[in-house]
Structure 1
Amino acid sequence: MRLVVRSFSELCITAGALIVLFVVYLLLWTGVKADSASSDQIDQLHHQWAQGTVSTPAPSASASGRGAPKKTAPPAPAAYKDGKAFAVMYIPRLGKKWSRPVLQDTRVKTLQKGLGHYAGTARLGATGNFAVAGHRRTYGDPFKDFPELRPGDAVVLDDGKTWFTYRIDNKPYLTVPSDIGVIDPVPVKSPFKSPGRYLTLTTCDPEWGSSHRLIAWGHLDSTQPVEQGKPAALRS
């Protein structure tokens, strides 16, 4: 009997130690790795932008070289690459220094580096629904304070050429995963009734679970070239 009790006690101690280590991994180590990965993604973007890799080529002149150049449609923007960052998001409500890279797709590995843009939704600033997901907890806790978002809050994005300022239109909406419709051009549950330039932000709820989703919707309020400096929402 003593041997059984001793063995059981040792198993309980071992299991407890493993649980503690797992909690430490979730709370600390995933955050350290995610913060480092997020910073690396932003640094890489800034380096690319400094090298001018996001510049748009000028229209070519006519083949003969005589007269005015032919009017041509502007070149289509390059497609976002899966798993690659293409913009940086700032949300002053979540902290003056809060910033996260936005990467293409919402795969597990992608969301460990920053926020993920839902494939198939609108491009940044374009007509339609620019939808983005992020972790509530673990991997840097990017949307830990998501419930603090309020109507009128600014969500600012920088793609190296343009500042895009969206404004939140609702308090975070709580729902189940099957009822969100976040990739629709005009989300059914949103405040919007007709096509426009919209933003959808999603994260999990409760903080340490994933049974529900929190959603915030916004509309594009303004844009300005990066050469003009930071938008007013980031200067206040």
Structure 2
Amino acid sequence: MSLRLVVRVLSELCVTVGTLIVLFVAYVMFWTGIKAADASDGELDRLQERWSRGRVEAPAAVPPPGPAPDSPAPGTTAAPAPAPAPSAPRKPAPAPKPPETAREPAPTGAPGPGPAYRDGRSFAVMYIPRFGRDWDWPVLEGTRTATLKRGLGHYAGTAPLGGTGNFAVAGHRRTYGDPFKDFPRLRPGDPVVLTDGTTWFTYRIARKPLKTVPTDIGVINPVPEKSGFSRPGRYLTLTTCEPEWGSSHRLIAWARLDSTRPVTDGRPPAFHS
């Protein structure tokens, strides 16, 4: 076999491998974002439709409404009956992004039993003004890979939205719409607003995000470890991957419930803070 033939074969192999790599990167950068945008918009549409019919997803049990220690008293109480849902604007298709390992961006366990929403079904919408005026994502029950391709995932077994305990939510840092791309920008006092179709829940970030390992499931305990909280309260935990293009660690942010407001009273002031 001549040297020229060997070089030619190696060159063709390099071109073929390079083409496959480019196609894979294009798939991760473009196609997963497009699919995630379509999937999350579909979840928002389904939520709007259910709420407009008065069908609000609720856990099997609801904690008592009284404020818990170490948690500020809500500003108002929830409406006793379903009300018209707040608007859920569609998100534009995200910009191209490099690939990330397709793994769940948070610890895989959830300590303790708790009320359950329907697995894989959306039940709320989350807004984080720090991430942009148009940032809105559906929250679904469960943190399986397929679920996180359609939105954010609530850890099964953690507290229900607005309830006493720790309402813990996971989301991708990169790929599948990059919902938590700007996670490191979170600062103490930033609002995280959610609605279940009848009530607005405004949580406030308590501290800058913490870096930890995937096996550190204590961060989603009812009183989350390392959060600085020492007593039962109404808490929110957000988790995502770290580093930005990897999954060897996790970033964690904690918040506590600041106020509630019926959707009939309009959007909470946190949207304008």
Q: Please, what TM-score do these two structures have when normalized by structure 2?
A: 0.77
Q: Is the 8 A contact 1:81 1:104 kept in 2?
A: yes
Pair 1:191 & 2:228 matched: yes
Residues 55 and 145 of structure 1: CA distance in aligned 2, closer, same or farther (over 3 Å): closer
**Which fold has the larger relative contact order, with Cα–Cα distance below 8 Å and residues 6 or more apart in sequence?**
2
Residues 195 and 158 of structure 1: CA distance in aligned 2, closer, same or farther (over 3 Å): same
> How far apart, CA to CA, are the structure 1 residues paired with 2:56 and 2:222?
26
Of residues 7, 17, 20, the one that matches 1:18 is 20
- Tell me the equivalent position of 1:39: 41
Residues 55 and 142 of structure 1: CA distance in aligned 2, closer, same or farther (over 3 Å): closer
Unmatched 5+ stretches in structure 2 = 59-79, 81-114
Q: Report SS of the residue matched to 2:219.
A: coil
Give the letter for the 1:147 counterpart.
P
Deviates more, 1:124-133 or 1:13-22: 13-22
Pair 1:224 & 2:261 matched: yes
Q: Is the 8 A contact 2:57 2:117 kept in 1?
A: no
> How far apart, CA to CA, are the structure 2 residues paired with 1:99 and 1:92?
9
> How far apart, CA to CA, are the structure 2 residues paired with 1:39 and 1:182?
30
Deviates more, 1:6-15 or 1:172-181: 172-181
- Tell me the equivalent position of 2:93: none
Q: Is the 8 A contact 1:88 1:157 kept in 2?
A: yes
Pair 1:95 & 2:126 matched: no
Q: Is the 8 A contact 1:131 1:182 kept in 2?
A: no
- Tell me the equivalent position of 1:170: 207
> How far apart, CA to CA, are the structure 1 residues paired with 2:161 and 2:126?
11
Q: What are the equivalent positions in structure 2 for 1:134-213 lying under 5 Å apart? A: 134-213=171-250
- Tell me the equivalent position of 2:159: 122
For residues 175-232 of structure 1, the C-alpha deviation after alignment (integer angstroms, 9 at most, x for no partner) is 1112242331111111201110000000001111000100000000000111111101
Unmatched 5+ stretches in structure 1 = 57-73
Q: Highest CA radius of gyration, 1 or 2?
A: 1
Give the letter for the 1:82 counterpart.
D
Aligned-residue offset at 1:79: 4.0
- Tell me the equivalent position of 2:53: 51
Deviates more, 1:8-17 or 1:134-143: 8-17
- Tell me the equivalent position of 2:143: 106
> How far apart, CA to CA, are the structure 1 residues paired with 2:222 and 2:17?
48
**How many residues in Structure 1 have an aligned counterpart in Structure 2?**
216
> How far apart, CA to CA, are the structure 2 residues paired with 1:13 and 1:214?
38
Give the letter for the 2:161 counterpart.
L
Give the letter for the 1:212 counterpart.
H
For residues 152-180 of structure 1, the C-alpha deviation after alignment (integer angstroms, 9 at most, x for no partner) is 00000010011000000010111111224
Q: Please, what TM-score do these two structures have when normalized by structure 1?
A: 0.88
- Tell me the equivalent position of 2:122: 85
For residues 54-78 of structure 1, the C-alpha deviation after alignment (integer angstroms, 9 at most, x for no partner) is 299xxxxxxxxxxxxxxxxx9xxx8
Deviates more, 1:187-196 or 1:126-135: 187-196
> How far apart, CA to CA, are the structure 2 residues paired with 1:7 and 1:195?
67
- Tell me the equivalent position of 2:102: none
Deviates more, 1:179-188 or 1:91-100: 179-188
